[in-house]
Structure 1
Amino acid sequence: MMSYQHILVAVDLSDDSQLLLDKAADLAKATHAKLSLIYIDVMKDDEFTQQIVNSFVRASENNNVLQNSKDQLNRLVENTSYPVEQTLVGFGGLSQELEDAVKEYEIDLIVCGHHQGFWHNIKSSAKKVLKSIPIEVLVVQLR
C-alpha cells in the first residue's frame, strides 16, 4: 500500500460527499495520514468572474455563501470517525484551487468522486483534475 502524508478530499456537498469522505478517512487511517476536506464553488469558473468573486469572498468572511459552505463541511466532519486537519472553501477554477491547496498544505493525494451518467461523461470534473494536478489522484466512482 502507498504511504501518504496528507490526503485532500474534494467534495461537491452532494449526498455522496459523506461516502467519499468516509472512504478517504479509511485510507488516511490505514496510512496514518493527515486528512483535509475542500469544497470549491466552480459556478464562477471564468477568469474575470473568478477574480471578482475571490476578492469579494476574501474581503468578507461573513459572506453567506462562504459560511453556508463551511457549515456543510463541518457537518461532514462531525459525521466522520477520523480527525480532519483542515476544511477549505474555494471559489472559481477547480484545478487552480486544488493546485494552490496542494502547495500550501503539502498534499500528496487528492480523493475525488465521479458520477456516472451522460452529462457527467461529457463534463467531468475528475477529468480536469487528472489533467492538471501533479500528484496522485484517487477517483471514487459514485452512483
Structure 2
Amino acid sequence: MSNEYTHVLVAVDLTKDSNKVLERAIPIAERNHAKLSVMHTLEPLGFAYGGDIPMDLTSIQDQLDEHAKQRLAEIADPHGILSENQHVVVGMPDTEIHRFAAEHDVDLIVVGSHGRHGFALLLGSTSTGVLHGAQCDVLAVRVGKDGEVDE
C-alpha cells in the first residue's frame, strides 16, 4: 500500500464508542505515516434551545467546552495523540468537520456509525452529513451494536 493518506481526522462523540473509532483509525494513520488529529464538536447552546432562553449562556458554554477538552484528552492521551492534535470546536458537527478537513488538508475522515435499518438511519445524522459533504474519503466505523460492550 502506498502512502495514500497524509492526514487522518477522527471525529468522536466522547462516548465509550470513541475509543473503538480511534482504535480503527490509528493503524491506518500508522501504515500511511499520516498525521492523526482527533476532534469533537459541541453544538452551541443557542441552537439547542432555539434562542428561547433570555439569558447569557456564555459561561455554561465555556464549562461545556472545558469538560469536552478534558474528556477528549482522556480518550486521546493514552494513544499518544499530542494536545495540539486534539480539537474541540463549537458548531454543527458535519459543517465543522468539513471545515476542519478543508483547512487542514485532511484526506481521510473517520467517524462512528450506529448500525440501524434503512438508508436514512444507516449512518446516523452526523455521519450521513459528513459523508455527503466530504471532499475526501470517509470511513464509518460501526459502533454500538446490540449486545456489544465497550470498556
TM-score interval, smaller chain: 0.7 to 0.9
Structure 1 segments unaligned to the other structure (5+ residues):
51-55
How far is the alpha carbon of 1:104 from its aligned partner? 2.2
How far is the alpha carbon of 1:85 from its aligned partner? 5.2
CA contact under 8 A between 2:73 and 2:83: conserved in structure 1? no
- Counterpart CA distance in 1 for 2:46 and 2:30 is 34
Structure 2 segments unaligned to the other structure (5+ residues):
52-56, 146-151
| Matched letter for residue 11 of structure 1 | V
Q: Aligned pair 1:13/2:14, yes or no?
A: yes
Q: Which residue of 1 aligns with 2:54?
A: none
Runs of 4+ that moved beyond 3 A: 42-46, 81-85
CA contact under 8 A between 2:94 and 2:127: conserved in structure 1? no
How far is the alpha carbon of 1:83 from its aligned partner? 5.5
CA contact under 8 A between 1:45 and 1:92: conserved in structure 2? no
Root mean square deviation of aligned Cα = 2.9
User: Sequence identity, in percent?
Assistant: 30
CA contact under 8 A between 2:112 and 2:127: conserved in structure 1? yes
TM-superposition CA deviations, 1:80-109 (whole Å, max 9, x none) = 156675111122212221122112222111
Q: Which residue of 1 aligns with 2:110?
A: 111
- Counterpart CA distance in 2 for 1:28 and 1:4 is 7
- Counterpart CA distance in 1 for 2:68 and 2:20 is 18
Q: Aligned pair 1:121/2:113, yes or no?
A: no
